[in-house]
Structures are given as C-alpha cells and as structure tokens.
C-alpha cells in the first residue's frame, strides 16, 4: 500500500466518530511480563473476554507475536481472526492507525509513536515494533497511509465527533516528551489537517496520575455530535475533583465546530483503585519500564468504554459505582446493548478497554 503525501483535509477524508458504524476492530495480544503480572496470563484471559464480547457485535482481529500465536489461537473463539504481528506491548489504540474515510475509501494516519513520551517520560524502551504496527494494520485493511514525519501522537490522546470537532488535553499534547518543538497553534494545525476538523477543544488535564500524561480517552467521550460523557468525581477532597470540575467548566463555555453547546453527562468514577502487594509482586522488574509499586493509584475510569456496532463494552472494577456506570451508559445509549467486563487486569497494565481496541470505520473499499 502507498505512503501518501498531502493531508486528509486536502484529500477530503475525515476521522469518523467512534459511535459511527464500524467495519471491525483490532486488538493486540498482551505478553510482556514487566507490564502484565504473572507472565500476562490473567490479562490474556480478560483480553480474550473483551475480544469475544466484541465478536458478538462486529468482526475482530487480534494481532499476536509468533511466540504467542498458538496460545492466543486456542484462547480465542473461532470468530476472532488471529494474525501474526510483532509489537512491544498491547495498546493498539495508541500505536495503531487512526482511520479516515471519504465514505468510499479508507486511509490510515500513521502517527509517530514513542511510548508516551520517548526518552523524557516514556513508559518503556524500545518502542520500534509498536511504531511499525499502524502501517502493518493499514496493509491488512488495504488502506494507503499518511506518515506524520516527526509528529508524535497516540490514538487515545485524540477524540472526534466526526462532525468537525476534536477534543484533546493540554497535559498530554503539550507534554515535553512528544512534540516539544511545536507550539500549541502548530499542534492544533496538525490536528485540523490530519483529522479534518475545524475546531479543537482543549481540556486541561486527564485522569489523576494517568501514566499517558492524561489521555483524553480516559476522561471524555462523544456519545454523538453535541452530546458527551465526562469522568466525574464526587469527593471534593480527591485531586480528581478539581480536574473534572475544571474540564466541565471548559466544556460548558465552549461550542463545537457547528456552534452547538455540548450536553455533558457525568460518568461517576470508581473509588480509587490501588495496586495490592500480590499484584505488584507478580510483575517482573525491568529497567526502563514503569514499575508497579504497592499502593500506587491507577487511573481507573468508566469513560474507557468501547463503542461497537449496536453495543457498549465498559470496564468494571468490582466497585459500588459499576452498576451506576451501567445505568448512565444505558441512559445515554438507549439503542445499544451495554456489556460490562471485569477489567482490573487491564487497568494493572496502565489502561483499559478503549486503550486496547482500535476501530476500522465502515466506508472502506
Ligand atoms: O493508552 C493507554 N492507557 C496505555 C498505557 C500504556 C501503559 C504501558 N504500561
């Protein structure tokens, strides 16, 4: 497949909203023992549950290393397509392509990936295999791609309504480890040209202590144009309270690209989730990888749900707010089946269901 010059905007391609119809979903199989406890066995069981749940709604492909291929194949149902692909870890939202379409043809944006901050504050080294994932998925999808040169970005750090608006956080996109030579205006230009949006809404910060430097996909999500969910904290003594309140204020004072006020639904967070001694003890310590220490607070959020055709797959934490989250999602998405998956094992690796999925929109050739 070709590498394209120019930009999606010039070529008339746009990034759809996740709530739009999908052709399918990609995931990557977890295996590295310095991020996933107990040789990634508990995480693999949850990844298999997520893939199985997605397969009930739309086609799904799981990318797996050569070493893990046989194991993944036997853990996943036959409906799930399994392909061999190398990677450094399992976060396809971030290293996979962001797809754009003109309604007839699909193309990918292959951002440069540097493990959430490169040598400044990245989460592991090296990341070269991850950086090659987007082009490989584009090959499987028969999609030409735009390579963004030195511009670093992860799919979880952007969110669009498919109708001219993108939402990001300053904490992430202005972080030192990504594009320190770009001004805020230059970053905004890149987003407008590659996602083909006219307006970028800048939230301030993401979820408290999110190791991605505050990815937007853990705190904010469009349900449809003009309507969104925001991760919400009710405990005024918690540092998250101020972060969520600040973002709400920004959203209340904004309009989207079409001039609409955005209706915001509060999705109340679980009570803080901390790493236990047993969980910490199961992770191999390797220099250069973020350690998993006892008592560390994880960036748990129900906003890390994934929208599939006709469904919503959301993470549960065994928390009193799990059922409350389900009710909020059922209210906001009355036409979708809401499926909860106990996802603490994904959280222990540093993300959740949205971070381990990447959609291929419909509208490809
Ligand atoms: O998008 C994400 N939340 C991924 C985080 C990666 C964590 C690596 N340990």
Residue to substitute in 298, 355, 357 for testing ligand 1 pocket (most ligand atoms within 8 angstroms of CB): 355
Please report which helix (H) or strand (E) contains residue 25, including its range: strand 22-28
At residue 364, does pLDDT exceed 60?
A: no
Is residue 124 within 8 Å of residue 289, measured between CB atoms?
yes
For the chain, the structural domain boundaries read 8-361
Residue identifier of the C-alpha nearest atom 6 of ligand 1? 350
Q: Is 35 in the pocket of ligand 1 (CB under 6 A)?
A: yes
Residue identifier of the C-alpha nearest atom 7 of ligand 1? 350
Q: How far is CA 288 from the centre of its chain?
A: 23
User: Measured between alpha carbons, how far is 288 from 292 in angstroms, rounded to an integer?
Assistant: 12
Q: What percent of the chain has pLDDT over 70?
A: 99
**Fold (topology level) of 8-361:** 3.75.10
How many A from CA of 229 to the centre of ligand 1? 21
Residue identifier of the C-alpha nearest atom 9 of ligand 1? 350
Residue identifier of the C-alpha nearest atom 1 of ligand 1? 355
At residue 317, does pLDDT exceed 70?
A: yes
Residue identifier of the C-alpha nearest atom 3 of ligand 1? 351
State the pLDDT at residue 204. 98
Give the lowest-confidence range in 9-18, 130-139, 278-287, 298-307.
278-287
Residue to substitute in 35, 36, 91 for testing ligand 1 pocket (most ligand atoms within 8 angstroms of CB): 91
How many A from CA of 34 to the centre of ligand 1? 13
Concerning whether 221 is annotated as a catalytic residue, the answer is no
Residue 51 tokens read as 């893939």
At residue 217, does pLDDT exceed 60?
A: yes
pLDDT tens profile 248-266:
999 999 999 999 999 999 9
User: Measured between alpha carbons, how far is 177 from 277 in angstroms, rounded to an integer?
Assistant: 31
How many A from CA of 316 to the centre of ligand 1? 18
Which ligand 1 atom lies nearest to the CA of residue 350? 7
Mean pLDDT of all residues in 266-282: 95
**Position with higher pLDDT, 297 vs 281:** 297
pLDDT tens profile 75-114:
999 999 999 999 999 999 999 999 999 999 999 999 999 9
Q: Is 351 in the pocket of ligand 1 (CB under 6 A)?
A: yes
Kindly list the distances between the CA atom of residue 23 and the CA atoms of 97, 200, 216, 223, in Å, as whole numbers in the listed order: 14, 26, 24, 19
Evaluate if pTM is beyond 0.85: yes
Residue 31 tokens read as 């295996």
Mean pLDDT of all residues in 150-175: 97
Please report which helix (H) or strand (E) contains residue 44, including its range: helix 41-55
Look-up: residue for tokens 């971030």? 94
Q: Is 123 in the pocket of ligand 1 (CB under 6 A)?
A: yes
Residue to substitute in 280, 351, 354, 357 for testing ligand 1 pocket (most ligand atoms within 8 angstroms of CB): 351
At residue 365, does pLDDT exceed 50?
A: no
Confidence of residue 363 (pLDDT cuts 50, 70, 90): confident
Q: Is 290 in the pocket of ligand 1 (CB under 6 A)?
A: yes
Mean pLDDT, all residues of the chain: 97
How many A from CA of 212 to the centre of ligand 1? 6
Q: CA nearest 208: which of 300, 138, 126, 125? A: 300
Mean pLDDT of all residues in 133-160: 97
Mean pLDDT of all residues in 301-314: 98
Mean pLDDT of all residues in 281-297: 86
> DSSP state, 157?
G
Give the lowest-confidence range in 165-174, 233-242, 289-298.
289-298
Pairing of strands 144-152, 3-4: parallel
């Amino acid at each position: 497949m070709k590498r394209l010059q120019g930009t999606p905007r010039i070529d008339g391609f746009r990034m759809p909203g996740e709530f739009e119809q999908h052709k399918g979903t990609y995931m990557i199989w977890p295996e590295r023992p310095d991020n996933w406890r107990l040789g990634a066995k508990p995480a693999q069981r949850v990844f298999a549950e997520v893939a199985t749940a997605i397969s009930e709604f739309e086609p799904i492909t799981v990318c797996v290393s050569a070493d893990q291929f046989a194991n993944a194949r036997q853990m996943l149902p036959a409906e799930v397509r399994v392909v061999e692909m190398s990677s450094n870890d399992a976060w396809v939202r971030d290293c996979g392509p962001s797809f754009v379409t003109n309604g007839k043809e699909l193309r990918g944006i292959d951002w440069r990936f540097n493990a959430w901050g490169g040598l400044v504050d990245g989460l592991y080294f090296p990341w070269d295999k991850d950086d090659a994932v987007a082009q490989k998925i584009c090959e499987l999808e028969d999609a030409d791609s735009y390579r963004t040169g030195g511009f670093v970005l992860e799919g979880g750090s952007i969110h669009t309504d498919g109708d001219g608006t993108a939402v990001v956080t300053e904490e992430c996109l202005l972080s030192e480890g990504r594009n320190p030579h770009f001004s805020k205006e230059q970053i905004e230009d890149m987003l407008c040209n590659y996602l083909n949006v006219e307006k970028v809404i800048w939230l301030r910060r993401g979820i408290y202590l999110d190791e991605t430097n505050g990815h937007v996909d853990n705190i904010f999500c469009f349900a449809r144009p003009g309507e969104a969910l925001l991760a919400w904290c009710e405990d005024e003594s918690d540092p998250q309270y101020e972060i969520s309140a600040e973002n709400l204020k920004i959203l209340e004072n904004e309009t989207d690209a079409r001039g609409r006020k955005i209706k915001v639904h509060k999705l109340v967070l679980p009570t803080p989730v901390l790493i236990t001694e047993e969980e910490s003890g199961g992770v191999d310590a390797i220099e250069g990888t973020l350690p998993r220490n006892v008592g560390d607070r994880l960036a748990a959020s129900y906003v890390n749900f994934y929208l599939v055709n006709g469904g919503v797959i959301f993470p549960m934490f065994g928390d009193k707010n799990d059922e409350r989250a389900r009710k909020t999602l059922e209210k906001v998405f009355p036409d979708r089946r809401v499926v909860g998956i106990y996802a603490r094992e994904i959280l222990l690796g540093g993300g959740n269901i949205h971070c381990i999925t990447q959609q291929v929109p419909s509208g490809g050739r």
